[in-house]
């Protein structure tokens, strides 16, 4: 097989403040390795999302300075950006344990970009008291990212309780009509809570970058 030319957006960090992210699920180990060599040669941080353990182990044999993050199924090469406390903090909220992989992708993506974050797990609407008892914690965040599957109602509930920017992440879990996250996505898009932002199904990285844009735009909240 002849190697195809690979063009990378190595100016993205300078232009947008975001590192080059690589979708790893549908790429071969050889393709990912070729991309990582180019990013490493440019002395930049690389983030590869959706990497299974088998593929990760092969890549770790090639790049002994790479790191595999099991919780988020992501692989990184290079050092994270310095933390910028002045930008504020992001709270990652999840409805249940099944949301953990995507929530971890959010957390890793933020950490790599120097954004402080915390996780608040298992506070879904099926046990609303768990959410309400943590409302003070939620109110301290500058931006809140909410991961939820099933009917995806958790972001709407939170958006009705606090004034900070809320980013909803539909999760691809649930029986039957949940349709791999489509019910959660449609529920969030049809939300009655004004100003709720929604990213695509399981798109933890996209949610993190939306939060990064909000924080870097100078929108800060002190509640």
Torsion on CA atoms 51, 55, 60, 65, rounded to nearest 10: -20
Answer yes or no: is 28 within a domain: yes
Token pair 């983030």: residue: 47
Which domain-ending residue is among 77, 95, 124? 77
Contact 88, 58 (CB under 8 A): no
Same domain, 70 and 178: no
Q: What span, in angstroms and rounded, lies between the C-alpha atoms of 76 and 74?
A: 7
Q: How many domains does the chain have?
A: 2
Strands (E), the chain: 21-23, 46-49, 66-69, 74-77, 89-94, 116-120, 143-148, 166-170, 197-198
**Which DSSP state fits 80?**
P
Contact 51, 73 (CB under 8 A): yes
Same domain, 121 and 148: yes
Same domain, 97 and 60: no
SS3 175: coil
Same domain, 205 and 126: yes
Residues spanned by the domain of 21: 12-77
* pTM recorded for the entire structure: 0.91
199 phi, psi to nearest 5 deg = -105, 180
Give pLDDT, residue 223. 39
Query: What are the tens digits of pLDDT across the range 26-50?
Result: 999 999 999 999 999 989 999 999 9
Q: Are strands 116-120 and 166-170 parallel, antiparallel or unpaired?
A: unpaired
Answer yes or no: is 6 within a domain: no
Answer yes or no: is 144 within a domain: yes
Torsion on CA atoms 171, 206, 6, 73, rounded to nearest 10: -50
Same domain, 53 and 152: no
Strands (E), 79-123: 89-94, 116-120
SS3 160: coil
Query: What are the tens digits of pLDDT across the range 89-125?
Result: 999 999 888 899 999 999 999 999 999 999 999 998 8
Q: Tens digit of pLDDT per residue, the chain (223 long)?
A: 445 667 787 778 888 888 888 999 999 999 999 999 999 998 999 999 999 999 999 999 999 999 999 999 999 999 999 998 899 999 999 988 889 999 999 999 999 999 999 999 999 888 888 989 999 999 999 999 999 999 999 999 999 999 999 999 999 988 888 899 999 999 999 999 999 999 999 999 999 999 999 999 874 444 3
Q: What span, in angstroms and rounded, lies between the C-alpha atoms of 91 and 215?
A: 13
Same domain, 118 and 43: no
Same domain, 162 and 130: yes
């Amino acid at each position: 097989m002849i190697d195809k030319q690979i063009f990378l957006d190595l100016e993205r960090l300078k232009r947008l403040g975001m590192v080059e992210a690589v979708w790893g699920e549908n790429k071969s180990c050889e393709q990912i390795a070729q991309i990582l060599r180019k990013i490493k040669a440019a002395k930049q941080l690389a983030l590869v999302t959706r990497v299974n353990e088998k593929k990760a182990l092969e890549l770790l044999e090639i790049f002994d300075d790479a790191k595999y993050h099991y919780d988020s199924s992501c692989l990184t090469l290079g050092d994270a950006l310095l933390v910028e406390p002045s930008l504020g903090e992001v709270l990652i909220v999840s409805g249940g344990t099944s949301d953990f992989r995507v929530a971890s992708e959010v957390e890793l993506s933020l950490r790599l970009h120097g954004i402080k974050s915390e996780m608040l797990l298992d506070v879904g609407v099926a046990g609303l008291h768990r959410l309400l008892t943590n409302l003070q914690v939620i109110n301290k965040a500058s931006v809140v990212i909410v991961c939820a599957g099933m009917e995806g109602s958790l972001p709407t509930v939170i958006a009705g309780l606090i004034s900070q920017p809320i980013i909803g992440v539909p999760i691809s879990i649930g029986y039957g009509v949940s349709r791999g996250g489509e019910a959660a996505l449609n529920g969030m898009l049809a939300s009655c809570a004004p100003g709720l932002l929604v990213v695509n199904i399981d798109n933890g990285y996209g949610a993190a970058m939306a939060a990064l844009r909000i924080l870097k735009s100078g929108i800060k909240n002190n509640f």
